[in-house]
Amino acid sequence: MSLSVLLFGILSILAVASALITVISKHPVRSAISLVFHFFMLAGLYLTLNAQFIAAIQVLVYAGAIMVLVIFVIMLLNLENENKLKSKYNILQWSAFLLGLGLVFLLGVTYLSTGTGLQFAPEIAANNSTAQALGKALFEGYIFPIEAIGILLTGAIVGAIVLAKKKLS
Amino acid sequence: MIQQIPLEYYLLLSAVLFTIGTVGVLTRRNAIIIFMSIELMLNAVNLTFVGFASFMGNNAGQLFVFFVMSVAAAEAAIGLAIVLALFRAKKTVYVDEVNLLKW
């Protein structure tokens, strides 16, 4: 077993486990911390794909900014364990579980039956994913989406402030 | 000689993560945990994007990861502000107890 296969195995098992803890655990803080761990594992997986800049952005934006916001809101709301609403929804939960099994079966069969036949080219991937190459491609071919994202973020800031204000006057 | 992992393994891992996120959205009642499950699903799709970008020798997939991340950031700000406003109005974050539009 080579090093890259070992690395992929460890990272993917930890990523799946932390995603499961995120979904299953009763306390929101526990699932938030587990989600931060999951984001770090995904950053490691991006590094195995030679996408170093995306890995850095993943840690900065997701594990840094978004999860701080989530944990801040959890602290602000002072939530307790979710145990009073458990027994009523067993049928719903089982059907959702079966639905999920069906979805992963469908996706897995699709991916495995239609082999992509692509070969990993480490040097090309590493050259393509530097900050310089990404910025060049971003501002040459995607200038309109960037402007749209700017408008979206401005609208999101204004909307968040309006929604979180105590009283509109 | 380093033996490389095929692209299908990354796609399968991403499918499993996406499904975990879907099951989380379907089963959990806490609005914040539903929100975190949506983040899980977005990240699973990002993994597919990066995998294809690296295997095809083309960085358009990585650019789309940027756009997904910025939409996720906007969604985080708006979604958590909605949860705050909901908690102020109804004193709950459980989506079962929010039934203003039910009749």
A61 touches chain B (CB under 8 A): yes
For range A70-80, the mean pLDDT? 83
Question: How far away is chain B from the Cα of A5, in angstroms, using its nearest Cα?
Answer: 6
Query: A90: Cβ–Cβ under 8 A, 6 or more apart, which residues?
Result: none
> Do residues B7 and B52 make contact, with C-beta atoms less than 8 angstroms apart?
yes
Question: Is residue A85 pLDDT above 70, yes or no?
Answer: no
ipTM score here?
0.91
| Best to test chain A binding among B8, B14, B19 (most A CBs inside 10 Å) | B19
CA distances from B12 to A39, A137, B15, B37, B85 (A): 18, 28, 5, 18, 38
Among residues B37, B93, B28, the alpha carbon closest in space to that of A89 is found at B28
| Neighbouring residues of B76: CB distance < 8 A, sequence distance ≥ 6 | A66, A69, A70, B35, B39
Q: Say yes or no for a CB contact (<8 Å) between A89 and B18.
A: no
| B30, β-bridge pairs | B94
Tell me the β-bridge partners of B94: B30
Give the pLDDT mean for A30-40.
94
- Express as a percent the part of chain B with pLDDT over 90: 45
Q: What local confidence, expressed as pLDDT, does residue A4 receive?
A: 82
pLDDT(B1) > 50: no
Q: For A92-151, write each residue's pLDDT tens digit.
A: 778 888 888 888 888 888 877 777 777 777 778 888 888 898 899 889 889 999 999 999
What's the average model confidence in pLDDT over B36-41? 94
Query: How many angstroms away from the CA of B95 is the closest CA of chain A?
Result: 11
pLDDT of B103 strictly over 50? yes
Neighbours of A7 (CB within 10 A): 15
Q: Which of B62, B76, B93 sits opposite A134 (nearest CB)?
A: B62
Query: A30: nearest CA in chain B?
Result: B33
The DSSP 8-state label assigned to residue B6 in this structure reads P
CA A27, A14, B37, A160 torsion: positive or negative?
A: positive
Fold (topology level) of A3-81+88-129 = Four Helix Bundle (Hemerythrin (Met), subunit A) (1.20.120)
d(CA A88, CA A69): 31
Q: Is A126 exposed, middle or buried (CB count within 10 Å of its CB: 0-12, 13-18, 19+)?
A: middle
3-state SS class at B94: strand
Contact B8 A157 (CB under 8 A): no
3-class secondary-structure state, position B30: strand
pLDDT score for A15: 95
Other CB atoms closer than 10 Å to residue A160's CB: what's the count? 20
State the fold for domain B7-90: Helix Hairpins (1.10.287)
Which residues 19-78 on chain B approach chain A with CB closer than 8 angstroms? 19-24, 26-30, 32-33, 35-37, 39-40, 43, 46-47, 50-51, 53-60, 62-63, 65-67, 69-78
Whether the CB-CB separation of A18 and A34 falls below 8 Å is answered with yes
CA nearest to A161 within chain B:
B81
Contact B53 A73 (CB under 8 A): no
| Nearest-by-CA chain B residue for A150 | B70
Q: Which residue of B has its CA nearest to A92?
A: B27
Mean pLDDT, chain A, whole residue set: 86
Sorted by where each begins, the domain ranges of chain A are 3-81+88-129
Q: State how far residue A102 is from chain B, nearest Cα, in angstroms.
A: 9
Residues of B within 8 A of A82 (CB-CB) are 28-30, 94
CA neighbours within 13 Å on the CB side: how many for B20?
A: 24
> Can you give chain A as a three-state secondary structure string?
CCHHHHHHHHHHHHHHHHHHHHHHCCCHHHHHHHHHHHHHHHHHHHHHCCCHHHHHHHHHHHHHHHHHHHHHHHHHHCCCCCCCCCHHHHHHHHHHHHHHHHHHHHHHHHHHHCCCCCCCCHHHHHHHCCHHHHHHHHHHHCHHHHHHHHHHHHHHHHHHHHHHCCCCC
Residue type, A104: V
